[in-house]
Amino acid sequence: MKKQKGQDIIEYALMLAVVVGIGFGLYTHVGIGDHISTVFNNAGNLLEEVGKGKQTTFIFPDDAIKRLFDERYGGSSDILEKPATGEVKDIAFDSKEGQELARKLNIQTKEGDGWYVRIFSPGTTVVTYYSASDNGGVTFSQLKNAKPGDKEYLTKIYIHEGIHDGSGKETYNTANTDRQSDVGHVERDSKGQFVSIYPGSK
């Protein structure tokens, strides 16, 4: 039995050596190694592209407006609570509060776009979305930092907007009109510095 056991071990060792030899030969001479490397590289590139695609999945302006209203009237965010009596609360997309809302509600805007939420003390809420493509390619940052005399110093702009009253009832939304965007204006202080964007003609 010991002799038989020893023979089995030798046979297994020889078989393993043959398999390893064949595998090494295929890997080095037939080019399987290159194929394997190619497969893994392609898989890595595919995952990278999928990741990039996920990061650049933007939502439409009307979807952003809806998500903000849903959170304002039915969500759990303290950020969108109505202000004290007689006060007005402005939340910009690029502020700390706006960035927190964007993460929570998965609002990913296109490069150059921006939005504002204005809440009045009775609870009336206005959401304004600025699209660079609706305004000759002028980005929100260019609009915000423009000085009098600059070509980006726009006063009349085109926006997407929605308005809800204190009870949450929709009173206006550009998504329900024939036009895809509506006229708005840029509010600036006495020095011409950017304050916010707002619906309607100034």
Task: Please tell me which residue, 175 or 41, carries the higher pLDDT value.
Answer: 175
Distance, in Å, from the CA atom of 199 to the CA atom of 163, rounded to the nearest integer, reads 10
Residue 75 pLDDT greater than 60, yes or no: yes
Q: Which of 27-41, 58-72, 172-186 has the highest mean pLDDT?
A: 58-72
Q: Which residues contact 185 (CB under 8 A, 6 or more apart)?
A: 155, 156, 157, 197, 198, 200, 201, 202
Task: Please tell me which residue, 172 or 4, carries the higher pLDDT value.
Answer: 172
Residue 55 pLDDT greater than 70, yes or no: no
The single residue listed with the structure tokens 């980006």 is 152
The type of residue at 115 is W
Mean of the pLDDT values across residues 3-13?
62
Q: Which residues contact 173 (CB under 8 A, 6 or more apart)?
A: 62, 65, 161, 162, 163
Output the average pLDDT for the chain: 83
CA distances to 5, 9, 10, 152 from 1, rounded to whole Å, are 6, 13, 14, 94
Distance, in Å, from the CA atom of 49 to the CA atom of 200, rounded to the nearest integer, reads 41
The pLDDT tens digits of the residues spanning 98-130 come to 999 999 999 999 999 999 999 999 999 999 999
Distance, in Å, from the CA atom of 66 to the CA atom of 195, rounded to the nearest integer, reads 24
Task: Please tell me which residue, 91 or 77, carries the higher pLDDT value.
Answer: 91
H or E element in which residue 194 lies: strand 194-199
Percent helix, strand and coil across the chain, each to the nearest 5: 45, 20, 30
Mean of the pLDDT values across residues 195-201?
86
pLDDT of residue 86: 93
Rg, C-alpha atoms of the chain? 30
Band (24; pLDDT cuts 50, 70, 90): low
Residue 161 pLDDT greater than 90, yes or no: yes
Mean of the pLDDT values across residues 171-187?
85
Q: Are 153 and 180 in contact (CB under 8 A)?
A: no
Residue 39 pLDDT greater than 50, yes or no: no
End-to-end CA, the chain: 102
Distance, in Å, from the CA atom of 157 to the CA atom of 132, rounded to the nearest integer, reads 10
pTM for this model (two decimals):
0.69
Domain regions of the chain by residue span = 2-55, 61-199
Residue 45 pLDDT greater than 90, yes or no: no
